[in-house]
């Protein structure tokens, strides 16, 4: 799995199935149009027709990624806990701390506010998916939170 760190984030998934493009907004409150206005979509390109072999990994990761947005209704503690922190815990806990976070709509203030919780869920520094600019390769990824 290859993730290009651009805005919008693009995820390439090799597959022998028919080519398909998907767009996902990686935020737990998918049915709320107001919240989703603040969430940048992630483009998923499925299939081998993308010629992924021509994309070279600048950073190879040993552990899978969880991609999520710190957009939405951030700034409100209720929404931050119920729509990001709790779903992030549920989504990433089964990795037993061996997961890397890729954050879209990266809010440095938000990451700083929840850095202690994020460190309990992953020993790695959260990646700014909007500005990193490199091509990252992960063995797998979960795109979005529930």
| Whether the predicted model's global pTM rises above the 0.85 cut | yes
Q: Residue 50: helix, strand or coil by DSSP? A: coil
CA nearest to 64, candidates 42, 92, 105: 92
Assign residue 61 a region: left if phi > 0, alpha if psi is -120 to 50, beta otherwise? Answer: beta
Q: Which domain holds residue 15?
A: 2-143
Total domains in the chain come to 1
Cβ partners under 8 Å of residue 54, min gap 6: none
Reading the chain (146 residues) residue by residue, the pLDDT tens digits are: 677 766 788 898 887 877 888 999 999 888 888 888 889 999 998 877 656 666 788 899 999 999 999 998 888 899 999 999 999 999 999 999 999 999 999 999 999 999 999 999 999 999 999 888 888 999 999 999 98
């Amino acid at each position: 799995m290859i993730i290009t760190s651009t805005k919008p984030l693009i995820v390439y998934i090799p597959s022998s199935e028919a080519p398909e493009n998907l767009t996902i907004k990686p935020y737990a409150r998918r049915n709320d149009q107001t919240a989703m206005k603040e969430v940048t979509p992630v483009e998923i390109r499925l299939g081998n027709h993308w010629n992924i072999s021509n994309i070279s990994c600048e950073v190879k990761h040993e552990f899978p990624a969880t991609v999520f947005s710190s957009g939405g209704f951030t700034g409100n503690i209720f929404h931050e806990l119920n729509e990001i922190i709790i779903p992030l815990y549920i989504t990433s806990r089964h990795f037993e701390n061996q997961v890397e976070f890729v954050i879209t709509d990266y809010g440095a203030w938000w990451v700083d506010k929840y850095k202690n919780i994020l460190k309990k869920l992953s020993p790695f520094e959260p990646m700014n998916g909007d500005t990193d600019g490199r091509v990252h390769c992960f063995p797998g990824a979960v795109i979005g939170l529930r």
